[in-house]
C-alpha cells in the first residue's frame, strides 16, 4: 500500500480507492496541473500480468467515449507499469443499485449509456469479456448518473495479433458470463458481451442478479438453460421493451441471442425482434479449467466427485453392452 503524499512520477498519492486480486487503484493528483486521476498499479508483478496491463492500457487508450473511462498516461513504479485514468467520483453500478433501487425509466437511461459505450468498443474491435456491476462506474452530474465502463483487463482485441488467452480457458465473472465464454473465452465475439448486458439489465430492473446461485456447477446450469426467475415476478411493472431486451440477451445459444448493440438498441426502442430458429442445438460440457475475476467458490471436491460418478457410470454401461455384444453407449454431455 502506498501512503498518502508519496510521489510517483508526476503524481502524488492522495488515497487508496480500491483493490482487487491483481491490482490496487489510488487517487492521485498531477503535481503541475493539479488535476485528479486514478492510478492502477499491479499488486503482484508476474511478467504475464505486466504484459496484460500494458495491453489493457493500449486498448483503453484507443476508446474515447463519454461512457468509457479513459486511460491518459502510463508510468512505471518499482519496475511495474501503472495506468493513469479518469478519476470517477461516484459509486459503481452494484453499489448504486443496492442504494438507489432505480425505477424502470432510470434503469433504462443508465443501461442505454452503458450500451452506447459498449457499441463504441465493439466498433473498434474490442470485446470487454468482463461486464459486471463492479466494472461500471457512475459519474454523478446533478441527479443524472452517467455510466462509465472500466476495467478492460481481460478484453479481447479483434484487430490485434496479441492474445493472452489460452484456448478452452474460462475468463470472466461466472454469473455474468455467456455459456460459450465458460467453455472458451478466446473465441467469443460481441454476443458474449451482450449476454452480460442482459445480466446487468436484469439486475438493474429486478434489484438482484439473474443468476444468484453460489457455486459454479449451479451457475453454469442456470446460464445454459435460461434458468432465471421471470423479471416480472420481481418487478410486475417491468416495461415490455426492457423485458424483451432481457430475454433477447440471455438466450444461451449465441446464434439465437441478440447479435449486436444496434439491434439491442432497436429492441429498447420498441421494435420487434425474433431470433433465428435453430433445428440443431449443439451439446457442450463444462470446462472449469481456469477463471480470472472469479466471484464464487470453485467447489472442486463436488466437481471431482461428479466426474468420478460419470466415469463409473460410463464403465458400467460399456460393460453391460459388451456382454450383449452391442456397441458401447457413451453418455452425452449436458445440453445447452
The answer to whether 53 touches 153, Cβ cutoff 8 Å, is: yes
Residue 130 is among the residues annotated as catalytic for this protein: yes
CA neighbor of 196 nearest in space, from 213, 216, 179: 179
Alpha helices in the chain (DSSP H): 47-62, 93-100, 104-123, 179-183, 190-206, 216-223, 231-234, 240-249, 261-268, 300-323
Q: β-strands 23-30, 71-77: how paired?
A: unpaired
CA distance 297 to 9: 39
CA distance 10 to 264: 43
Q: Number of C-alpha atoms within 13 angstroms, CB side, residue 200? A: 31
166 phi and psi, to 5 degrees?
-80, 150
CA neighbor of 151 nearest in space, from 80, 68, 50: 68
Q: Which of 73, 92, 105, 130 is catalytic?
A: 130
Active site residues: 130
Amino acid at each position: 500500500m502506498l501512503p498518502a503524499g508519496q510521489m510517483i512520477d508526476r503524481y502524488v498519492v492522495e488515497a487508496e480507492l480500491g483493490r482487487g486480486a491483481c491490482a490496487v487503484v489510488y487517487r492521485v493528483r498531477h503535481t503541475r496541473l493539479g488535476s485528479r486521476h486514478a492510478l492502477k498499479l499491479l499488486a503482484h508483478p508476474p511478467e504475464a500480468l505486466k504484459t496484460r496491463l500494458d495491453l489493457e492500457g493500449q486498448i483503453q487508450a484507443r476508446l474515447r467515449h463519454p461512457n468509457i473511462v479513459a486511460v491518459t498516461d502510463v508510468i512505471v513504479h518499482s519496475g511495474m507499469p501503472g495506468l493513469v485514468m479518469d478519476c470517477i467520483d461516484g459509486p459503481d453500478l452494484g453499489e448504486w443499485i443496492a442504494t438507489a433501487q432505480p425505477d424502470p425509466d432510470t434503469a433504462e437511461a443508465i443501461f442505454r449509456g452503458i450500451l452506447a459505450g459498449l457499441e463504441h468498443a465493439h466498433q473498434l474491435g474490442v470485446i470487454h469479456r468482463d461486464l459486471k456491476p463492479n466494472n461500471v462506474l457512475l459519474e454523478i452530474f446533478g441527479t443524472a448518473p452517467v455510466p462509465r465502463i472500466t476495467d478492460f483487463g481481460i478484453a479481447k482485441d479483434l484487430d490485434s495479433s496479441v492474445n493472452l488467452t489460452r484456448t478452452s480457458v474460462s475468463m470472466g465473472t461466472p454469473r455474468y458470463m455467456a455459456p460459450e465464454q465458460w467453455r472458451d473465452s478466446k473465441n467469443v465475439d460481441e454476443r458474449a458481451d451482450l449476454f452480460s448486458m442482459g445480466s446487468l439489465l436484469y439486475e438493474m430492473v429486478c434489484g438482484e442478479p439473474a443468476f444468484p446461485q453460489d457455486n459454479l456447477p449451479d451457475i453454469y446450469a442456470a446460464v445454459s438453460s435460461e434458468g432465471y426467475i421471470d423479471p416480472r415476478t420481481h418487478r410486475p411493472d417491468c416495461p415490455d421493451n426492457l423485458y424483451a431486451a432481457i430475454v433477447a440477451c440471455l438466450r444461451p445459444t449465441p446464434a439465437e441471442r441478440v447479435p449486436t448493440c444496434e439491434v439491442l438498441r432497436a429492441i429498447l426502442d420498441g421494435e420487434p425482434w425474433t431470433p433465428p430458429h435453430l433445428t440443431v442445438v449443439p451439446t457442450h460440457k463444462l470446462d472449469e479449467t481456469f477463471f480470472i475475476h472469479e466471484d464464487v467458490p470453485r467447489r472442486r471436491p463436488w466437481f471431482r466427485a461428479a466426474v468420478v460418478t460419470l466415469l463409473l457410470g460410463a464403465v458400467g454401461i460399456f460393460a453391460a453392452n459388451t456382454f450383449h455384444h452391442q456397441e458401447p453407449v457413451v453418455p452425452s454431455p449436458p445440453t445447452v
